Amino acid sequence: MIKKEFLVKILHFKAKILINLFLIMLFYSYLSKKGKVTKTLSVLVEGIDNNFRQGSKQYFTVLLIKKTLFIINLVLLQGLFAAQSLTTGCLSGVFACYIAIYKPLKNNYENMKIVSTELLILLNVILFSVYDIIKFNQDKNLAELLGWINVGGFTLILIFTLAIDIYKQLQNQYQKDKKVF
């Protein structure tokens, strides 16, 4: 007999997916029809280069799709760590390609930061798959080494994005100081 809590969790999951799908369709249809975004909804597309191409205007739709697929991946592939890692890597790779092709954000540093972050995530989660395989073969030393490489990889992501942010802020400050003097 299926427990009531399990059925409630399934219903909540399905409701969240349906809400996400509704929001995806809503964003897509709105951004497809409008040349300009109304002032009340401008906060949703702040920083988006929506005058260039349709693909750029659909940034939030693509982002919502990515997050929905990520959640589905986490829920459906709970026990399959290698498959979950590969699917997450594929999602990151596709999203990085989307950002690299369309450059949806007006700030090129943000585009570069997203692409580099997604590619580093792709590499790191692929290592998760290797880690799972090695752990399955019970090579403890190699699995431990790969675990530390994963920690280092995610630390590298944080350092890299921080370095881009610091560089951009220093560049902004330099431009302000140049105007003053």
Q: Going by C-beta distance under 8 Å and a sequence separation of 6 or more, which residues neighbour residue 27?
A: 44, 58, 60, 61, 64
- What is the rounded average pLDDT of the residues 145-163? 87
Banded pLDDT at 43 (limits 50, 70, 90): very low
- In the predicted model, what is the mean pLDDT of residues 133-160? 82
The DSSP output letter for 149 is H
Give domain limits for the chain.
4-40+49-180
124 has a pLDDT exceeding 90: no
- Specify the pLDDT at position 96: 93
Radius of gyration of the chain (CA): 20
d(CA 24, CA 31) in angstroms, rounded, equals 11
Strand partners, 48: 105
Residue in 123, 144, 143, 122 with CA at minimum distance from that of residue 134: 143
Chain-centre distance of CA 58, in angstroms?
15
Asked whether the predicted pLDDT for residue 42 surpasses 50, the reply is no
Which DSSP string do the residues of 6-70 spell out, in sequence order? Answer: HHHHHHHHHHHHHHHHHHHHHHHHHHHH-SS--GGGGGGGTTB-TTT-HHHHTHHHHHHHHHHHH
pLDDT digits (tens, 9 = 90+) for 71-121: 888 888 888 877 888 888 889 999 999 999 888 888 888 888 899 999 998
Burial of 47 (0-12, 13-18, 19+ CB in 10 A): exposed
| Distance set, CA 51 to CA 5, 57, 89, 97, 157 (Å) | 48, 8, 30, 20, 31
- The pLDDT value recorded for residue 164 is 87
Tell me: pLDDT of 141 over 90: no
For range 122-139, the mean pLDDT: 77
Whole-prediction pTM: 0.68
Mean pLDDT of 111-138: 83
Q: φ, ψ for residue 48 (rounded to 5)? A: -95, 135
CA 3/CA 17 separation, integer angstroms: 22
The band of 128, judged by pLDDT with boundaries at 50, 70 and 90, is confident
